[in-house]
Homo-oligomer: A and B are copies of this chain.
Amino acid sequence: MMHDEVVSRLRHVLTEGEIPPGARIPERELCASFAISRTPLREALKVLAAEGLVVLLPNRGSRAAKLTRKDVKELFEVCEALEAAAGELACPRISDAQLREIAELQAGMVEHYRAQDLLSYYRCNRLIHEAIVRAADNAVLAGFYESIAARIRRARFITPMSPEHWALAIQEHEGILNALQRRDAGGLAHILRNHLRRKREEVVRAGFAEGE
Interface residues of A (CB under 8 A from B): 2-3, 7, 39, 42-44, 46-47, 50-52, 56, 58, 71, 74-75, 77-78, 80-82, 84-85, 89, 138-141, 143-144, 148
A-B residue pairs in contact (CB < 8 Å), sample of 23: A3-B46, A3-B56, A7-B50, A39-B39, A46-B46, A47-B50, A50-B50, A50-B51, A71-B140, A74-B138, A74-B139, A74-B140, A75-B140, A77-B85, A77-B138, A77-B140, A77-B141, A78-B82, A78-B85, A78-B140, A78-B144, A81-B85, A140-B148
Q: How far is the CB of A124 from chain B (nearest CB, A)?
A: 25
Dominant secondary structure at the A interface: helix
Counting every copy of the chain, the complex holds 2
Minimum CB distance partner of A77 in chain B: B138
| Interface contacts beyond A74-B141, A77-B138, A80-B85: sample of 17 additional A-B pairs, CB < 8 Å, sorted by A | A3-B46, A3-B56, A39-B39, A43-B43, A44-B46, A46-B46, A50-B51, A52-B140, A74-B139, A74-B140, A75-B140, A78-B85, A78-B144, A81-B81, A81-B84, A81-B85, A144-B144
